[in-house]
Amino acid sequence: MISLVFLLCGVSAHAQRTPIPQPPIIGAKSFLLIDGNTGAELASLKPDERLAPASLTKLMTAYAIFRALDEGQIALDDLVTVSEKAWRTEGSRMFIEVDTRVSVQDLVLGMIVQSGNDASVALAEHAAGTEDVFSQVMNQHAAQLGMTGSNFRNASGMPNEDHYSTARDMATLARAIINEFPEYYRWYSVKEFEYNGIKQPNRNSLLWRDESVDGMKTGRTDEAGYCLVSSAQRGDMRIISVVLGTASAKARIDGSHSLLNYGFRFFETRLLYRAGETVATAKIWKAAKETTPLGLLENLYVTIPRGSFDEVESVLNMPETLLAPVAQGQPIAELQVSLNGDQLLKMPLRALEDNPDGSFWQQTKDGVTLWFE
């Protein structure tokens, strides 16, 4: 195995830097702050504690609906007949009426902007027949996303002792919605929505306070307290904050805003390598071409303390002998990225093109050379 070490920005400064301060105290039962691109954890308090998610549940309801839309199981212009169950659902409402027909798009906006429990149940029944079956779908998606601390029993977040989630799982879910469904995520920044002559504002008042905030969802029950998942983008950096169990609507907004500002102030996200960019070249023996370019299939970002990019190092671990054939996308080497000796991530470097077997003469020639080496 050959290891090649290279700095990303020339000569490393290794300067003494001011330590990052502790995150703000916000009076929450649990919180988590992550980078939206990399998923890196920036600050946390009991992020894996299982708590009642209240209307944050509707993020999973939305994810399941977005999946159904993406897979063609339902359509935005479908007309949904409102059941008595949906109409009678307690809590925050979109104010749909029993036996009326409402488009899926209006129901989605009613769920996202107005936090309509009635809209959530109507969507669940349309997508899966019953809310109970839809909750199974929600849990299947949660498992696929790696949300190991969550269990959903309904589509709205109504209290249930077997209905819970964690700050980490909610951050995972928020990141999935943002990255997988940008065309639907834009609805989380809608500040008000009118249906049936009733106009209601988005309960996420951070949308008015900070123009960099473009989502996502509030929640509140007696058991859960006041909760908020928020997301903001400044420049090329996106940060997601999850705050669970504060004492008031003001506390969840102030606390979330403090966490977002903390993340943007003390951290930065940098693009290391673009998808398809040649990071290194590998010598391939007995091949049609002497070398093969290696790179990544997706953009590679790293989240680091602000101002420390000059100290980031990459180590490339590559086998000493590589033989043809090589297929495009085949993992060839391992890229390890570290900051001042602490590993940040490791990723496989893959062949960016095919390199088939060489001619009989090339294979014979390389075989003899390898024999002597």
What amino acid positions are annotated as catalytic residues? 55, 58, 115
What would the two tokens of residue 290 be?
């002497």
Cα–Cα distance measured from residue 205 to residue 193, given in angstroms and rounded to the nearest whole number:
14
Cβ 58 vs Cβ 215: under 8 Å: no
C-alpha of 294 from chain center: 27
**Which residues pair with residue 34 across a beta bridge?**
41, 240
Is the separation of the CB atoms in 256 and 231 below 8 Å? no
The contacts of residue 364 (CB under 8 Å, 6+ apart) are none
Phi-psi bin for 8: left (phi > 0), alpha (psi -120 to 50), beta? alpha
How far is the C-alpha of 55 from the C-alpha of 33, rounded, in Å?
Answer: 19
Torsion angle (degrees, nearest 10) of CA 4, 8, 14, 19: -120
Q: In what order do the strands lie in the sheet with 312-318?
A: 2-7, 312-318, 331-339, 342-351, 291-295, 280-283
Any idea what DSSP says for residue 91? S
Give residue 231's identity as a one-letter amino acid code.
Answer: S
Residues 6+ apart with CB under 8 A from 256: 26, 206, 228, 230, 241, 243
